[in-house]
C-alpha cells in the first residue's frame, strides 16, 4: 500500500472509531508527538450508564462548578446518558447528593416546563427540552459544546474552579430566552425549600436556592452576568409565569428567565458563579476567577486546558496504541473530576453545623462521596503523582474534624453522611504521612484517628451519621454480630486499626501501637476454619447456619456489604499472609484463580448490583485488589495475567463502555492508571515503610514527574521491554540498574528517582518473584517461617 493511501485508510479507521491495537508503536508515536495529554482524555467516554458525578461537562480538577448537560429524570445513574439525543438543561453542580442552577437557552414561545427524558422535544406539552445534533457534540477537559436543534443554538461551556462561561450563538433572529431552573432531577433529587431571584441590573441576576435531600441541606447562591442587557426578566412557580419583575421568591418547581432579541448570527455570552456561603461570596468568586478574562471565552478555555495538561502531563506514556493512550489519560482525568471544592476563593465555607468558617485559601475544604476502599486506587495515585492533592485532602479532613468533632467518611456538601462503612479516610492520612507528605497537623491527625477508632459513632442532628456504626460491639466482642450489622465491617474496622497502629509506630507511640496492632487481627474472629471462609457470626459466638460462600449481599442489615463471603474472605489489605495461613496457599491460589476464570465471561463485573453471583467483581470496591494477591501467594505471573485481562476486558474506550460497574468518583479510573503503570499497594501504602507491588505495565515506557516539594528524585520511569498484547509476563527486572528478584519494591526507592526495567515475554517465568521469601510484607509471618 502506498504511503498516501495508507494515511487515508488510517484516518478513515480513526473516524470510524476502530481500535488501533495493531498499528505499530512507531506510527502511534508519530501521532502522539502532535498531541498533548488533554487531547487523549475524552469526557464522553463511558457516559452511557454513568453516575451523576461522572459526566462530559466543563470543569477543572475538583471544580465547584461542574457544568454539564443533563438529559435524564430522577433515576439511578441519572444525569447525562449518551444514548439519549436530547438535553434538558446544563446544571452547575454534579456532586454526590447535590445539584444546582440549571441553565437552558430556548427560542420562540416561552416554555418553562422541562419535559420528560423519553419524550423529546418540541411543543408546549413536551417542554423546553431540546434534541441535539450528536455530530456537533464536542467534549474535552474544561470544555463542552453542542448544537441544540430546537433553534439550532450553538451552546458552548468552559469554566474556572468556581465560575462558568456560556457562549450561545443564534443562527436566526427572534425571541430568545435563557432559563434558570432550580428543580433539577438527578440521582438524589433535592426538594427546593426556598428560592429567590433578583435582577440587580440590566446585565446581572443574583439569587439562591435552599435545597434538601435526606440529611444534606445546603444553599446554592449564584450570580449571573451577561455581556448585553436583558430585554425582560421574569420567573415562574409551578408553571405560573410572572414577567417584568425585579425580584421573585418561590419554592418547589420554580425558576427564572432572561429574555433577549438576538439578530441573525448574534452571540450572547454569560458568566456564572456559585457559593454555598452567600451571594456576595458568589460574586467574589466570579470577580476573582472570571473577570480577569473579560468576555474572552477562548482565553478561559485555553486556561482550563493548560491546567488539565499540567496535571495529566505528570505521567508521560510512550508507545502503545492510540486506544490505550485514550483509555489511560481518560482514566487519569476521571480521577480528578468527580469530587468537589466547597470553600470559596478567600477560604470561606459553611461547616457541618451550618456556620460560616474561614480557612487558608490554599487549603480548600473538599467534598465527595465516601473514601470507601480508595486505598486501592485514588490514594495510591494521589500520593505518588500529586502529593500536594493528598496534603489538601488531609488538611480538609482535619478542618472538618476540628469544627464537627469527627473525621468525615465522605463530606458530601461538608456534612456527615454516614456513607460508606468504616473510616477509610484514615488510610489516606496515614499513607500521606508514611510517604513524607506531612504538610498537615500531624498530632491533630493522630488524635482524630484514635478518636474515630475508640468511640462509637453517633447520629447527627440532620439525620446523618458520624463515626463507625456497630462500633461498640466491635470493641467489646472483636467482631460485628449478625444481629446488628454486616460481618464485613469487622474486616474494614480491623484494617483501619492497622493503619492507626502503623501511624503510632512511626510516631514512636508504643502503647497505642500495641493496642491497635492487636485489634488489627480481629478479622480472625469471623473466620470459620471448618468452611474456610469469613462467615456471619451471632452475638453468642455461633455461626449463622443459613449461609453459603455466594450468599448474603447486604446494603443494610446483616451480611456482606455489597459483596459476598467469597470476596470478603480475600479482603485483608494489611495481612494477606494471615489469610494465606488460614486458607492454605494451595487453596488460596486454586480458589482465587478459579474465581477469575469463572468471571472472564462476565468481563469481571456483576451487572445490576447482583454481587452474589460473580466471584471477581471489579465493578465494586471490595474486590478491586484481587488480581494483585498472587504476588503474595508465590504466583506473580497470575497477577500479571489477570491485571492485563481486567484492563483489556473491563475497561472500554467508547461512550457506551468505559467502566462496566459503578465508577465511584474516579476510583476505577485511578485503578486503571496504577495498573497500566504496573504498580499497586494492597495495604494502601500505610505501612511504616510503604512499598509497591509489580504487575504487567500497559506501555513500553511511562515516566512519572515527581513533585520536587515532596520527592527529590526528579522522575521515575517504568520500562516494559518487548511488551505487547501477547508479551504480558515479567521475565526479569532491574530497579535502578540492579537486579530485582521480588515482585515489589519500596516507595523510598521510587521517589529517589530512577527506573524500573522489566523484560517481558509471552510465557510466564515462574521462577521470578515466586519464592516464599519474595512475597511482599504482611502483618503475619508465614506459618512455616521461624519466629
Give the Å distances, CA to CA, from 282 to 64, 342, 348, 622, 727.
11, 12, 11, 39, 54
Answer with the one of 244, 274, 309 that is the final residue of a domain.
309
Q: What is the pLDDT of residue 290?
A: 97
Q: Which of 249-258, 553-562, 574-583, 768-777 is least confident?
A: 553-562
Residue 27 pLDDT > 50: no
Determine, yes or no, domain membership for 771: no
Residue 30 pLDDT > 70: no
* CATH assignment of the domain containing 116: 2.70.98.10
User: How many angstroms separate the CA atoms of 477 and 486, rounded?
Assistant: 14
Kindly indicate the confidence band of residue 126, based on its pLDDT and cuts at 50, 70 and 90: confident
User: How many angstroms separate the CA atoms of 665 and 236, rounded?
Assistant: 34
Arithmetic mean of pLDDT, 633-653: 97
Task: Measure the CA dihedral 667/668/673/676, to 10°.
Answer: 150
User: What's the pLDDT tens digit per position in 159-204?
Assistant: 999 999 999 999 999 999 999 999 999 999 999 999 999 999 999 9
Which uninterrupted H or E stretch holds 658?
Answer: strand 657-659
Q: What is the pLDDT of residue 96?
A: 92
Determine, yes or no, domain membership for 527: no
Same domain for 99 and 26: no
* Three cell numbers, residue 753: 528517582
Answer with the one of 285, 309, 333 that is the final residue of a domain.
309
Q: What is the pLDDT of residue 23?
A: 30
- The answer to whether 172 and 152 are in contact (CB under 8 A) is yes
Same domain for 261 and 217: yes
Q: What is the pLDDT of residue 15?
A: 32
User: How many angstroms separate the CA atoms of 543 and 411, rounded?
Assistant: 36
Kindly indicate the confidence band of residue 277, based on its pLDDT and cuts at 50, 70 and 90: very high
- The answer to whether 739 and 732 are in contact (CB under 8 A) is yes
Number of domains in the chain: 2
Residue 118 pLDDT > 90: no
Give 254: exposed, middle or buried? Use CB within 10 Å, 0-12, 13-18, 19+: buried
Determine, yes or no, domain membership for 531: no
Same domain for 247 and 126: yes
Determine, yes or no, domain membership for 230: yes
* Three cell numbers, residue 777: 510484607
Q: Which of 69-83, 89-103, 106-120, 536-550 is least confident?
A: 106-120
Q: Which of 182-186, 545-549, 554-558 is least confident?
A: 554-558
- The answer to whether 133 and 147 are in contact (CB under 8 A) is yes
What are the beta bridge partners of residue 107?
A: 176
Secondary structure (DSSP) of 81-135: -TT--EE--EES--BTTB---EEEEEESS-------TTS---STTT-S-EEB-GG
User: How many angstroms separate the CA atoms of 172 and 575, rounded?
Assistant: 67
Q: What is the pLDDT of residue 33?
A: 56
Same domain for 225 and 96: yes
- The answer to whether 421 and 492 are in contact (CB under 8 A) is yes
Domain residues for 21?
3-34
User: How many angstroms separate the CA atoms of 318 and 295, rounded?
Assistant: 38
User: What's the pLDDT tens digit per position in 44-78?
Assistant: 999 998 888 999 999 999 999 999 999 999 888 88
Determine, yes or no, domain membership for 555: no
- The answer to whether 192 and 101 are in contact (CB under 8 A) is no
Q: What is the pLDDT of residue 538?
A: 97
Q: What is the pLDDT of residue 21?
A: 31
Arithmetic mean of pLDDT, 602-629: 89
Kindly indicate the confidence band of residue 612, based on its pLDDT and cuts at 50, 70 and 90: confident
Same domain for 297 and 208: yes
* Three cell numbers, residue 157: 461551556
Same domain for 174 and 277: yes
Which uninterrupted H or E stretch holds 334?
Answer: helix 322-334
User: How many angstroms separate the CA atoms of 326 and 734, rounded?
Assistant: 29
Determine, yes or no, domain membership for 369: no
Q: What is the pLDDT of residue 508?
A: 98
Same domain for 284 and 174: yes
Helix axes 442-452, 387-404, angle to 10 degrees: 60
- 468: which DSSP letter? B
* Three cell numbers, residue 171: 443562527
The vertex-205 CA angle with 199 and 206, nearest 5°, equals 105
Same domain for 118 and 18: no
Same domain for 29 and 129: no
Q: What is the pLDDT of residue 595?
A: 97
User: How many angstroms separate the CA atoms of 752 and 765, rounded?
Assistant: 29
Q: What is the pLDDT of residue 784?
A: 54
Arithmetic mean of pLDDT, 760-764: 98
The residue that leads in pLDDT, 385 or 418, is 385
Kindly indicate the confidence band of residue 610, based on its pLDDT and cuts at 50, 70 and 90: confident
Answer with the one of 309, 324, 343 that is the final residue of a domain.
309
User: What's the pLDDT tens digit per position in 216-271?
Assistant: 999 999 999 999 999 999 999 999 999 999 999 999 999 999 999 999 999 999 99
- The answer to whether 726 and 472 are in contact (CB under 8 A) is no
Secondary structure (DSSP) of 9-68: HHHHHHHTT---TTS-HHHHHHHHTT--HHHH--TTTT-TT--TTS-S-B--TT-S--BE
User: What's the pLDDT tens digit per position in 299-320?
Assistant: 999 999 999 999 999 999 999 9
Radius of gyration of the chain (CA): 27
Percent of the chain with pLDDT over 70: 94
Helix axes 378-385, 425-434, angle to 10 degrees: 30
- Determine phi and psi for 147, rounding to 5 degrees: -100, 120
Query: Which residues lie below 8 Å from residue 721, measured CB to CB, with a gap of 6+?
Result: 700, 757, 758, 759, 760
Q: Name the pTM for this structure.
A: 0.94
User: What's the pLDDT tens digit per position in 442-478?
Assistant: 999 999 999 999 999 999 988 889 999 999 999 999 9
Determine, yes or no, domain membership for 262: yes
Average model confidence (pLDDT) across the chain:
93
Determine, yes or no, domain membership for 225: yes
- The answer to whether 456 and 472 are in contact (CB under 8 A) is yes
Residue 714 pLDDT > 50: yes
User: How many angstroms separate the CA atoms of 199 and 349, rounded?
Assistant: 25
Query: Which residues lie below 8 Å from residue 8, measured CB to CB, with a gap of 6+?
Result: none
Same domain for 213 and 169: yes
Same domain for 128 and 24: no
User: How many angstroms separate the CA atoms of 542 and 117, rounded?
Assistant: 51
- The answer to whether 301 and 158 are in contact (CB under 8 A) is yes
Same domain for 112 and 29: no
Percent of the chain with pLDDT over 90: 86
Amino acid at each position: 500500500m502506498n504511503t498516501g493511501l495508507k494515511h487515508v485508510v488510517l484516518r478513515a479507521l480513526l473516524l470510524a472509531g476502530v481500535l488501533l491495537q495493531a498499528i505499530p508503536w512507531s506510527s502511534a508515536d508519530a501521532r502522539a508527538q502532535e498531541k498533548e495529554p488533554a487531547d487523549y482524555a475524552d469526557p464522553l467516554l463511558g457516559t452511557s450508564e454513568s453516575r451523576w458525578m461522572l459526566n462530559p461537562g466543563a470543569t477543572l480538577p475538583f471544580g465547584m462548578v461542574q457544568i454539564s448537560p443533563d438529559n435524564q429524570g430522577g433515576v439511578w445513574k441519572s444525569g447525562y446518558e449518551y444514548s439519549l439525543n436530547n438535553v434538558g438543561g446544563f446544571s452547575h453542580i454534579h456532586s454526590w447528593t447535590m445539584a444546582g442552577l440549571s441553565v437552558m437557552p430556548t427560542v420562540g414561545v416561552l416554555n418553562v416546563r422541562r419535559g420528560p427524558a423519553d419524550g423529546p422535544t418540541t411543543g408546549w406539552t413536551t417542554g423546553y427540552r431540546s434534541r441535539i445534533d450528536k455530530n456537533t457534540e464536542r467534549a474535552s477537559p474544561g470544555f463542552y459544546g453542542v448544537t441544540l436543534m430546537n433553534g439550532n443554538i450553538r451552546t458552548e461551556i468552559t469554566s474556572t474552579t468556581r465560575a462558568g462561561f456560556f457562549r450561545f450563538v443564534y443562527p436566526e433572529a427572534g425571541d430568545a430566552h435563557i432559563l434558570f431552573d432550580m428543580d433539577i432531577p438527578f440521582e438524589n433529587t433535592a426538594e427546593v425549600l426556598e428560592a429567590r431571584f433578583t435582577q440587580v441590573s440590566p446585565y446581572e441576576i443574583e439569587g439562591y436556592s435552599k435545597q434538601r435531600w435526606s440529611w444534606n441541606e445546603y444553599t446554592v447562591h449564584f450570580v449571573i452576568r451577561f455581556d448585553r442587557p436583558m430585554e425582560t426578566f421574569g420567573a415562574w412557580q409551578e408553571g405560573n409565569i410572572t414577567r417584568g419583575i425585579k425580584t421573585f421568591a418561590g419554592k418547589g418547581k420554580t425558576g427564572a428567565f432572561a429574555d433577549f432579541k438576538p439578530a441573525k448570527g448574534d452571540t450572547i455570552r454569560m458568566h456564572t458563579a456559585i457559593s454555598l456561603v452567600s451571594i456576595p461570596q458568589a460574586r467574589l468568586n466570579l470577580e476573582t476567577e472570571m473577570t480577569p478574562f473579560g468576555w474572552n471565552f477562548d482565553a478561559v478555555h485555553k486556561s482550563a486546558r493548560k491546567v488539565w495538561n499540567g496535571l495529566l502531563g505528570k505521567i508521560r506514556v510512550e508507545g502503545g496504541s492510540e486506544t490505550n493512550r485514550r483509555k489511560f489519560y481518560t482514566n487519569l482525568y476521571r480521577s480528578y473530576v468527580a469530587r468537589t471544592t466547597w470553600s470559596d476563593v478567600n477560604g470561606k465555607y459553611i461547616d457541618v453545623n451550618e456556620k460560616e468558617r474561614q480557612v487558608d485559601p490554599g487549603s480548600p475544604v473538599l467534598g465527595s462521596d465516601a473514601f470507601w476502599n480508595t486505598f486501592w486506587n485514588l490514594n495510591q495515585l494521589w500520593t505518588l503523582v500529586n502529593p500536594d492533592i493528598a496534603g489538601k485532602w488531609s488538611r480538609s479532613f482535619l478542618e472538618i474534624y476540628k469544627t464537627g468533632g469527627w473525621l468525615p467518611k465522605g463530606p458530601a456538601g461538608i456534612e456527615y453522611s454516614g456513607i460508606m462503612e468504616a473510616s477509610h479516610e484514615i488510610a489516606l492520612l496515614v499513607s500521606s504521612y508514611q510517604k513524607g507528605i506531612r504538610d498537615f497537623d500531624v498530632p491533630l491527625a493522630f488524635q482524630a484517628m484514635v478518636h474515630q477508632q475508640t468511640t462509637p459513632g453517633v447520629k447527627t442532628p440532620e439525620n446523618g451519621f458520624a463515626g463507625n456504626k456497630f462500633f461498640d460491639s466491635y470493641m467489646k466482642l472483636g467482631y460485628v454480630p449478625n444481629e446488628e450489622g454486616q460481618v464485613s465491617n469487622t474486616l474494614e474496622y480491623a484494617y483501619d486499626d492497622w493503619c492507626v497502629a502503623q501511624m503510632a509506630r512511626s510516631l514512636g507511640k508504643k502503647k497505642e501501637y500495641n493496642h491497635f496492632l492487636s485489634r488489627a487481627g480481629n478479622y480472625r474472629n469471623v473466620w470459620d476454619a471448618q468452611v474456610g471462609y469469613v462467615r456471619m457470626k451471632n452475638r453468642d459466638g455461633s455461626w449463622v447456619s443459613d449461609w453459603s460462600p455466594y450468599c448474603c449481599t447486604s446494603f443494610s442489615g446483616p451480611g456482606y456489604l455489597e459483596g459476598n463471603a467469597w470476596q470478603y474472605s480475600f479482603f485483608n489489605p494489611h495481612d494477606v499472609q494471615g489469610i494465606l495461613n488460614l486458607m492454605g496457599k494451595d487453596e488460596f491460589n486454586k480458589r482465587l484463580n478459579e474465581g477469575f476464570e469463572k468471571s472472564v465471561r462476565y468481563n469481571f463485573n456483576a451487572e445490576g448490583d447482583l454481587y452474589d453471583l460473580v466471584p471477581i467483581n471489579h465493578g465494586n470496591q471490595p474486590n478491586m485488589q484481587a488480581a494483585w494477591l498472587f504476588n503474595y501467594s508465590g504466583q506473580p505471573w497470575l497477577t500479571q495475567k489477570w491485571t492485563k485481562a481486567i484492563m483489556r476486558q473491563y475497561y472500554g474506550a467508547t461512550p457506551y463502555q468505559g467502566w462496566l460497574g459503578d465508577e465511584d468518583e474516579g476510583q476505577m479510573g485511578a485503578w486503571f492508571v496504577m495498573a497500566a503503570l504496573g504498580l499497586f499497594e494492597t495495604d494502601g501504602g500505610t505501612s511504616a515503610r510503604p512499598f509497591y507491588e509489580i504487575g504487567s505495565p500497559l506501555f513500553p515506557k511511562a515516566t512519572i514527574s515527581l513533585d520536587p516539594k515532596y520527592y527529590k528524585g526528579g522522575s521515575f520511569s517504568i520500562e516494559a521491554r518487548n511488551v505487547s498484547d501477547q508479551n504480558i509476563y515479567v521475565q526479569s527486572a532491574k530497579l535502578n540498574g540492579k537486579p530485582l528478584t521480588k515482585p515489589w519494591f519500596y516507595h523510598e526507592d521510587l521517589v529517589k528517582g530512577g527506573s524500573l526495567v522489566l523484560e517481558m515475554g509471552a510465557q510466564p517465568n515462574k521462577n521470578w518473584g515466586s519464592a516464599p521469601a519474595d512475597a511482599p510484607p504482611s502483618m503475619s509471618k508465614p506459618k512455616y517461617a521461624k519466629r
